[in-house]
Structure 1
């Protein structure tokens, strides 16, 4: 989340440093999403055939290295976009696979709650980003070090490597998914991991584990190769999984198109909004007026940079506003984690997403900036529904195709984010109201689609009758 979303803060202050147009800012904002989108199936194939941990671990170390390079050696649009794209490709390895990894560490009763609690990291990101931005990006200093120009936004980008590096180090001490081991290698290594989990959780010795043998491993699928990957894709395209794939992927596309795209532009939007806070004007009117004056015609918008380009310091109120939004998002994840134990996950998803999308649409049109900020902040919390959708989806896919299904699911999500981020860039030159209405209607359509979600128990029974393991 740090690698894909924090770039919005950088683009607000680094546009002059990198000589960026508003369209180039939109492309860089979406570069990591495009990278994740481009490689999702590849990482899903690898993690389903070689292991969740075995794929995530090296990718995390490599993404950290590439992220540091993008912060240090980018001096124009081409270098920044390329390095952010490669970083996104590497981040893709864990961005969806981690949900399969978490889900396979828990039983059916606790799986959704575990995923939602783990997803509070997304809300924490929304808190940490503005704090770091407030501390680092408020400065106007710069200096030369070994021939490199060091400025606040580069230091800010360096901090993004900390979560990835920390995750990689922690993952060194975690075992492979026992569910993956059981389905792909056999019961013995799975039993070893389960006994290790038992010893740590219960504070007992591993030889006290009451299970001595696993006998329900109906099928061991130690198969590899692109033929297997192709067959897995075919399984996802056949009933009863096909219906689940179509519904979940369309829903994830719309959630990311609305939420992640608007979040990456949030610093820009709030910066301009707070500088016009006293006027009775809507977000759309402010942004269209700002970018039209900055770039008088669409050709200039896409091909040239404004000659009068002053280094920007983000308005000081942007940071506390984003922190409040992060707190609300974290509270939303925790609340959902408790609620899904008793309520229907699908009904709760529909309510949260429906209400938040209406708030976002109203925030863009209402001519009361203080109210618009409040509605926008609450509306962006709709991002919590992405993890809730993952919890809904993970229940219906067998172990052998689960990571692939989740990776393609998040590929559609990142595609939505990339499309949305660039649409926002174009919309700020014109048709801003139309963009928000499209997002709202798309969200309404996804809510209606999820009503058609099949019974998970029936899907599992059908797949198990064909030899698949859960």
Structure 2
């Protein structure tokens, strides 16, 4: 494995050494953090941050865009239960493969997992648009989520490993700012594509191809674009170094230096010191090559043993709570916001509590059924109010993410995480304490913004774990997050009808509790210096769980 990764590192670097690499006795020896600082921060870093943002945007297009498809896919004759399955099956696919792709990224490489899975996810989106049968459609949506997981979690490890301690948090938050900025075009794209007046029949597969099906294809294009952009990027230098290939890691850093400082710039000659924790981890994995299951076991067990047991448990619990609230309520974004917007238009009339307005729609629908009014009308257009409020939410999310990124190193990761989770949780409770429609809408949108804390926690996770465990750690924590999405959306669907107030109170209290739990995450209170001086402390971790610290 080491030899193949060495070749991969050299191939992706696109350069050849200009000096004899055998004469190493007088070369300076640097740790990877110091070596990355030598490349400076420039064009390469901006490019990989942008590509990472596009990959995250591709994930958002594939998952959240379904809320615009479900209301208009009336030609599929979906029942309420089938709509619920269609909304959550992508998350189920991500959940099922997060563990697998986390393992593969830690053992085979980040780049070689992220790029092909993006191509496959895009292919599934295109194929999915041509099927009318519900079960085939669901199966393809499941596979779409299955392959999107390959990039969903691993991109954070991949991006973080091209930056040192002082820049890593900014890079991760920067990619999420780009992603959330691009997400503002999702409602606009949905409105412009779905609301077109055309359709045509494809006889040999018996499908009436409508604009919403084209929107499914459009949702897959960001994945295709980002996969093509990855051709210009190498494997993670930290991963290549973790495989024992110091030369391959050096050449990748040299390529970064050339991008950042110009073709004619000279890169300092030095030797990279391999992380001892990576040596021990690699040895453990190598010994387990006799069995795939045993290899996965060796890769996973350290995450649930000291010194990482506490970190892994807390990160999984907090991600579960954040996704349960954020994604759980987001599935009902259009329905809730539309009802509140109607009430806002009649602001001069008698005010009503938020749950009364939400349940008002159910009462009216029952009355319509009692009067036996014909409802067999295919409404295949989106209302403008849904798009407007979706755009407002994405804009707020982008601005707040940018602010949190600027504050990350100044005030620390815990204060940012705590502020986001506590204020969004209080907003969930506030929805039930006011009868002012504008405040209700504002509180509800801010409650959904609790997902910003997940991005900060991803930066925390990258800092907490060594190279050979990092992708698996992020994958497992986000796997629990996706599980929270499924649990949250189904719980909200049950509670909103008969126990609406309880749904908001529980979500608010849960989010606040997650903010309190974040206090106990190891090293989350550690402030990062605003300089390029790396933290030279090495953590030595074996697969038996022993740990030492060297300064």
Residue 86 to residue 360, structure 1, CA distance change in 2 (3 Å): same
* 3-state SS of 1:342 partner: helix
Question: What number of residue pairs does the alignment pair up?
Answer: 458
* 3-state SS of 1:415 partner: helix
Contact 2:324 2:484 survives alignment (8 Å): yes
* 3-state SS of 1:253 partner: helix
Question: Per-residue displacement from partner, 1:168-204 (whole Å, max 9, x unpaired)?
Answer: 0011111000001101242111111111111101113
Task: In structure 1, list runs of 5 or more residues that go unmatched.
Answer: 301-305
Residue 136 to residue 361, structure 1, CA distance change in 2 (3 Å): farther
- 1:227 Cα deviation (Å)? 2.2
Higher mean C-alpha deviation, range 359-368 or range 330-339: 359-368
* 3-state SS of 2:143 partner: helix
Higher mean C-alpha deviation, range 378-387 or range 448-457: 448-457
In 2, distance between residues paired with 1:227 and 1:249? 23
> Residues 62-461 of structure 1 correspond to what in structure 2 (within 5 A)?
62-76=120-134, 78-139=135-196, 141-146=198-203, 147-205=206-264, 208-218=266-276, 219-220=278-279, 221=282, 223=286, 225-277=292-344, 278=346, 280-291=351-362, 294=365, 308-312=375-379, 313-363=381-431, 366-455=434-523, 461=539
Match of 1:42 among 100, 103, 107: 100
Contact 2:62 2:219 survives alignment (8 Å): yes
- 1:80 Cα deviation (Å)? 3.1
* 3-state SS of 2:493 partner: helix
- 1:97 Cα deviation (Å)? 0.2
Residue 326 to residue 336, structure 1, CA distance change in 2 (3 Å): same
Residue 68 to residue 467, structure 1, CA distance change in 2 (3 Å): farther
In 1, distance between residues paired with 2:308 and 2:538? 10
* 3-state SS of 1:20 partner: coil
Residue 438 to residue 55, structure 1, CA distance change in 2 (3 Å): same
- 1:294 Cα deviation (Å)? 4.2
In 2, distance between residues paired with 1:423 and 1:72? 32
2:66 aligned partner:
7
Higher mean C-alpha deviation, range 283-292 or range 180-189: 283-292
Contact 1:2 1:125 survives alignment (8 Å): no
* 3-state SS of 1:149 partner: strand
Higher mean C-alpha deviation, range 150-159 or range 223-232: 223-232
* 3-state SS of 1:213 partner: strand
* 3-state SS of 1:72 partner: coil
Question: Per-residue displacement from partner, 1:340-399 (whole Å, max 9, x unpaired)?
Answer: 121111111011111012213323563333322222223322221111111112111111
In 2, distance between residues paired with 1:281 and 1:293? 16
TM-score (norm 1): 0.90
Task: In structure 2, list runs of 5 or more residues that go unmatched.
Answer: 1-59, 527-534
Residue 201 to residue 345, structure 1, CA distance change in 2 (3 Å): same
Contact 1:8 1:268 survives alignment (8 Å): no
Larger Rg: 2
Match of 1:32 among 76, 90, 94: 90
- 1:275 Cα deviation (Å)? 4.0
In 2, distance between residues paired with 1:468 and 1:125? 42
Higher mean C-alpha deviation, range 234-243 or range 449-458: 449-458
Question: Per-residue displacement from partner, 1:13-35 (whole Å, max 9, x unpaired)?
Answer: 22x32222333322221111111
Higher mean C-alpha deviation, range 121-130 or range 231-240: 121-130
- 1:467 Cα deviation (Å)? 8.4
In 2, distance between residues paired with 1:73 and 1:271? 30
Contact 2:424 2:511 survives alignment (8 Å): no
Contact 2:156 2:458 survives alignment (8 Å): yes
In 1, distance between residues paired with 2:375 and 2:538? 61
1:463 aligned partner:
541
Higher mean C-alpha deviation, range 269-278 or range 127-136: 269-278
Higher mean C-alpha deviation, range 360-369 or range 345-354: 360-369
Contact 1:186 1:217 survives alignment (8 Å): no
Q: What is the CA RMSD across the aligned residues, in angstroms?
A: 2.6
- 1:125 Cα deviation (Å)? 4.3
